[in-house]
Structure 1
Amino acid sequence: MTAFAALLRAVNVGGTGKLPMRDLVTMCERAGLSSPRTYIASGNVVFSSDAKEADVKAKLEEALQAYADKPVAVLVRTVDELSAILADNPFPGASSNKVMVLFLDDAPNARDIDAVSGQKNEALHLGKREIYIHYPDGMGRSKLKVPAAAHGTARNMNTVAKLTSMAAEVEAT
């Protein structure tokens, strides 16, 4: 079995997209995913499965569509991919709560960086299927707009590290 993390887009943010995490665990179990565990109430869940990533994504998106009566995007990574994201952090000296990982389904390209606006002192770096963003003054003060974010979901490095650890625990069981 492979350990995965699923990151839901626009869940429990700003009073919209409410999804109790116990309901998410139940959805995962009904979808045949093993040992689901959630982390903070913003749509993070780890589990294991024999299914391929695309099948896991499709199962979760179908269950979430039925639950929410609207599409809910899900970004899926294996525990190995999460570990690589941590290892490849291009801003290792920065505070981990000021480095965001924008998870995407496909590989980003230079156009994704060229399309940003409002950039002041933020730094962006392309990853395999993610964009790393360093917000030296904090995300809350930034005016940075990243159009690629409309197709992804972001987590800070603290969350990525925790999900990696949780997924490794699930894989070990």
Structure 2
Amino acid sequence: MATFKGNPITLVGTQVNVGDKAPNFTVSKNLLTDVTLADYAGKIKLISVVPSLDTGVCDQQTRRFNEEAASLGDNVAILTISVDLPFAQARWCGAAGVDKVETLSDYKAKSFGQAYGVLIEEFQLLMRSIFVIDANDTVQYVEYLGEMTEHPNYEAALNAVKALA
């Protein structure tokens, strides 16, 4: 069960598990360009899902993965997905100095949220979660947080990526 400040929330979609083939999705890189899972073919993908970059935990989560990006190598794509509009994501990245994490928006169709079971019905935001997907698009690590305001296990996610690199 997922909660926001202790209150139950409803997640829409199908949760994925380690060993599953990663579901495809379509998200916006900017207002004119959409990307899919296939755009990251052959790369290890660390997908950091946040409700909104303009909140404290989401800000810290994205900054943490940005700091770690350089040590993970060129074969790792770190994607932060939220439903923030692409221009808001770009503004936040510029203000925060985040330049190694790619921010993507699920604002149009909530394709990612539904495919990975993280769309919050009540808020139409995405539930905080982490996914590590290998170069062959197999899910290798999953963390669905039970409470929206908690931090993910950064070390476990980073170790999952390093084990694949």
Give the TM-score, by structure 1 length: 0.28
Which structure has the highest strand share of the two?
2
Mark the structure with the bigger radius of gyration: 1
Bigger relative contact order, structure 1 or 2 (CA pairs below 8 A, ≥6 apart): 2
Give the TM-score, by structure 2 length: 0.29
Which structure has the highest helix share of the two?
1
